[in-house]
Amino acid sequence: MHQPSGTPSIREVPVADAAAGPYGIAAGPDGALWLTLVHSGRIARLALDGALTEYALDSPECRPTVITPGPDGALWFTRSQDHRIGRVTTDGEVESFSLPTPDSGPFGITAGPDGALWCTQMNTGSIGRVSTKGEITEFALPDEVAEGAFPAAITTGPDGALWFALNQAHAIGRLTVDGDFTLHPLPTPGAAPVGITSDGKALWFVEIGAGQIGRITVDGEITEFPLPDRTAKPHAVVAAATGDCWFTEWGANRVGRITADGEITEYDLPSPSSEPHGITLGPDGALWVALETGGVARVAR
């Protein structure tokens, strides 16, 4: 592992406990961090001064998972257990919308280029479009792809299309807002991509199965960068700038950074076995990481 002398300062902030399970994290338009508490069915708001507010959802078992800021100034999140899309305003008003297909298992969610939210549906191999009024359209992937593909994280690419990780198809998918789909199989067998992000020029993704970071251009050119520890289980990734991405290593209790030329540096988290999952660029310029054991890590670059 390459851990240089200029190691960033990492501070952990307790926000819950392992029974609540902080999982997804996003920077809100109000200058705070917003978290999903996957095991307790709650959404939490963490101010930069440490003030914490929790909002209960209508079902403690709904499993809020990934969260993202929406184009309407609210936070939107997936509820993977009861197959709904949730919305919470910065004032804490909560509502949710049922996906048309039963048992679809929504996971990833992102603001699209068209003023709507787009989500993945793990169990059905579909992609959903959710208007800010809660109107939902589903795009089924081709049968030969959708069967067991397990779409995971999703992001808007620099080309104005939606890009997403197909975890069990070991591929990256691209979908236009009109529903045109392109499949990009990954070179490494068993790659199992999960997280994906855009740095404004290309897409970066993490391969939890192969212990690699991948980069794909909008033309479909794929480059893979092996981690020093191939068992690290990279999970989520976020771009801090073009050619500057940060990721969580769920299996190794670390956060890592990769540059445009593939240079990888890794940093241990203070608490052992803290289970880092979601990662976001905070309003203060630091990286913020959700730790499923009950905390949030602030990584000052």
Res. 17 pLDDT band, cuts 50 70 90? confident
Closest Cα partner for 220 from 178, 263, 167, 161?
Answer: 161
Closest Cα partner for 149 from 132, 171, 128?
Answer: 171
Mean pLDDT of the chain: 96
Per-residue pLDDT reduced to its tens digit, 254-263: 999 999 999 9
124, two tokens: 């059905």
The predicted structure's pLDDT at residue 301: 87
pTM of the predicted protein model = 0.96
Handedness of CA 239, 112, 156, 194 (dihedral sign): positive
Put the strands of the sheet holding 162-166 in their side by side order: 151-156, 162-166, 171-175, 181-185
Cα-to-chain-centroid distance, residue 113: 17
**172, 163 in Cβ contact below 8 A?**
yes
**124, 136 in Cβ contact below 8 A?**
no
Mean pLDDT of the region 178-188: 97
297, two tokens: 């890590």
Per-residue pLDDT reduced to its tens digit, 185-212: 999 999 999 999 999 999 999 999 999 9
pLDDT at 3 over 80: no
**207, 224 in Cβ contact below 8 A?**
yes
Mean pLDDT of the region 17-21: 93
pLDDT at 5 over 60: no
Q: How far apart are CA 253 and CA 295, in angstroms?
A: 13
pLDDT at 6 over 80: no
Cα-to-chain-centroid distance, residue 188: 22
Per-residue pLDDT reduced to its tens digit, 60-87: 999 999 999 999 999 999 999 999 999 9
The catalytic residue among 39, 83, 235, 277 is 277
Is 277 among the residues known to form the active site?
Answer: yes
Query: Can you count the helices (H) and strands (E) in the chain?
Result: 1, 28
Closest Cα partner for 65 from 26, 7, 99, 113?
Answer: 26
**136, 99 in Cβ contact below 8 A?**
yes
Res. 181 pLDDT band, cuts 50 70 90? very high
Per-residue pLDDT reduced to its tens digit, 216-246: 999 999 999 999 999 999 999 999 999 999 9
Res. 142 pLDDT band, cuts 50 70 90? very high
Q: How far apart are CA 17 and CA 151, in angstroms?
A: 28
Per-residue pLDDT reduced to its tens digit, 102-135: 999 999 999 999 999 999 999 999 999 999 999 9
Cα-to-chain-centroid distance, residue 5: 29
Contacts of 10 (CB under 8 A, 6+ apart): 255, 267, 269, 270, 297, 298, 299, 300
Q: How far apart are CA 60 and CA 56, in angstroms?
A: 8
Handedness of CA 142, 143, 149, 150 (dihedral sign): positive
The predicted structure's pLDDT at residue 7: 84
pLDDT at 4 over 50: no
The predicted structure's pLDDT at residue 13: 96
